[in-house]
Amino acid sequence: MRTPDELTVLFRSSGRKVTAQRQCIFRLLQGDETHPSAESVHVAAQLEMETISLKTIYQTLHDLTELGEIAALDVGTGRTRFDPNVEDPHHHLVCQVCGSVRDLVVDFPDMSLPAGADLGFELGTAEVIFRGLCPDCRKATSARSSPGVPVGRPA
Amino acid sequence: MRTPDELTVLFRSSGRKVTAQRQCIFRLLQGDETHPSAESVHVAAQLEMETISLKTIYQTLHDLTELGEIAALDVGTGRTRFDPNVEDPHHHLVCQVCGSVRDLVVDFPDMSLPAGADLGFELGTAEVIFRGLCPDCRKATSARSSPGVPVGRPA
DNA sequence: TGTCAACTAACAATCATTGGTGATACCTTG
DNA sequence: CAAGGTATCACCAATGATTGTTAGTTGACA
């Protein structure tokens, strides 16, 4: 996504207003690689603005998604995750224990389908999700118990 | 998954009872390649047993998943889809319009990660989701309007 | 045949998300 | 700077998929 300043211009030119809350959200998303959920953005935002509402978070994330500045993704953790990186095409690593998500900037050139395998589908994007254990949960698991904060439904 | 008869044995040997409802569900899943949701299994089951309850469907699907006879998957259509094919490792084709899901029995050998790209994750499975348009929605889209039955949240 | 799990109906609860309200704040354009 | 209108807030309700609860009945199986 673009910088907060550029987003300010973009919002205005698309008829949206730029409030302190929205700028706060812009700043928080800027360079965030954790693929936050709406709720975690809310928590982070509340550190700066105690009264900011979850509704506002949802609305702004929705606006940003509409403008193509962030991507909404469902990796099966039960909440929608938001990805500020829409520049580089990439895939995702998902921790099966704590639900953390990281970008995977690897291109798989050989992922085209053999003729006839497409079952008549008109293909769009191919999205790869690698499931595994993040470094933290790896430590916690090999050691003893209590990993990070568990998240959402299994698979 | 196994045949209804084999599942009957398996259920009994795991302390579960085999009722007419359960056998009906076994039969319906047998060879179903549409990756039905709990609700669509319910609809199909009601054709044979008008009074079968959605709870029973959920419970039996849950049991089958626990026994590893079917797989529960989240492809971002808003409902959990169930896949009776747990024998062949495979990926999935998902229609962005109607939400239909088909198996993709193609193996991608070159999907290992370059050294260092794993960000310290311990890798498990890699699941690939191809999004696109199914044959039916393709026709409907290129023609005029009204595709199949739209399903669930976008991406 | 008896026991106990499974079934049903009906209803409530969950969780993430979206929708309404009315009132206030404040951004933006003129 | 002032007007006008959108964003915000708090509060509360609704959605949709799924799970839980209850209580009474059926039926599997040893």
User: Measured between beta carbons, which residues in chain A are less than 8 angstroms from residue B76?
Assistant: 74
The tokens describing B21, both together, are: 């409802």
User: Measured between beta carbons, which residues in chain B are less than 8 angstroms from residue A148?
Assistant: none
Domain ranges of chain B: 4-73, 87-143
**pLDDT > 70? residue B146:** no
Q: Whole-number mean pLDDT of chain A? A: 87
Question: Measured between alpha carbons, how far is A146 from A139 in angstroms, rounded to an integer?
Answer: 10
pLDDT band at B148 (very low <50, low <70, confident <90, very high): very low
Name the more confident of A91 and B151: A91
- pLDDT above 70 coverage of chain A, percent: 92
Whole-prediction pTM value? 0.86
Q: How far is CA A137 from the centre of its chain?
A: 20
**pLDDT > 80? residue B155:** no
Question: Measured between alpha carbons, how far is B116 from B108 in angstroms, rounded to an integer?
Answer: 20
The tokens describing B40, both together, are: 């669509």
**pLDDT > 90? residue A153:** no
Give the pLDDT score at A113: 82
> Position of tokens 């709720």?
A39
Q: Which fold has domain A4-73?
A: Arc Repressor Mutant, subunit A (1.10.10)
Q: Nearest residue to nucleotide C8 when comparing alpha carbons to its C1'?
A: B53
Angle between helices B38-48 and B20-29 (to 10 degrees): 120
For A138, the closest of B111, B114, B122 (CB atoms) is B122
- Encode pLDDT of A23-66 as tens digits: 999 999 998 999 999 999 999 999 999 889 999 999 999 999 99
Cβ separation of B130 and A138 shorter than 8 Å?
no
Name the more confident of A113 and B120: B120
User: Measured between beta carbons, which residues in chain A are less than 8 angstroms from residue B96?
Assistant: 124
Give the pLDDT score at B143: 60
Whether B7 CB is under 7 Å from strand C: no
Whether A9 CB is under 7 Å from strand C: no
- The A-side interface with B (CB below 8 A) comprises 72-74, 76, 93, 95-96, 102, 104-106, 108-111, 113-114, 117-135, 138, 153, 155
**Arithmetic mean of pLDDT, B66-88:** 94
Give the pLDDT score at A108: 84
Looking at mean pLDDT, say which of A9-23, A132-146, B23-37, B105-119 comes out highest.
B23-37
Q: Return positions of chain D under 7 A from a protein CB.
A: 5-12, 16-21, 27-30
| DSSP conformational letter for A6 | H
The tokens describing A2, both together, are: 């673009």
Angle between helices B20-29 and B54-66 (to 10 degrees): 70
Cβ separation of A129 and B129 shorter than 8 Å?
yes
In CATH, the number for domain A88-143 is 3.30.1490.190
Distance from the Cα of B102 to chain A's closest Cα (Å) equals 8
Contacts of B66 (CB under 8 A, 6+ apart): none
Q: Determine which of A88, A121, A122 to mutate to test the interface with B (most B C-beta atoms within 10 Å).
A: A121
Give the pLDDT score at A35: 96
- Encode pLDDT of B2-18 as tens digits: 999 999 999 999 999 99
pLDDT band at A117 (very low <50, low <70, confident <90, very high): confident
**pLDDT > 90? residue B144:** no
Same fold, B4-73 and B87-143: no
The values of phi and psi at residue B124, to 5°, are -110, -115
- Encode pLDDT of B121-133 as tens digits: 999 989 999 999 9
The tokens describing B56, both together, are: 């029973």
Give the pLDDT score at A143: 62
In CATH terms, B87-143 corresponds, of 3.30.1490.190, 2.40.50.140, 3.30.530.20, 1.10.730.10, to: 3.30.1490.190
Give the pLDDT score at B32: 95
Whole-number distance in Å between A18 CA and C30 C1': 19
**pLDDT > 90? residue A116:** no
Give the pLDDT score at A142: 72
Radius of gyration of chain B (CA): 18
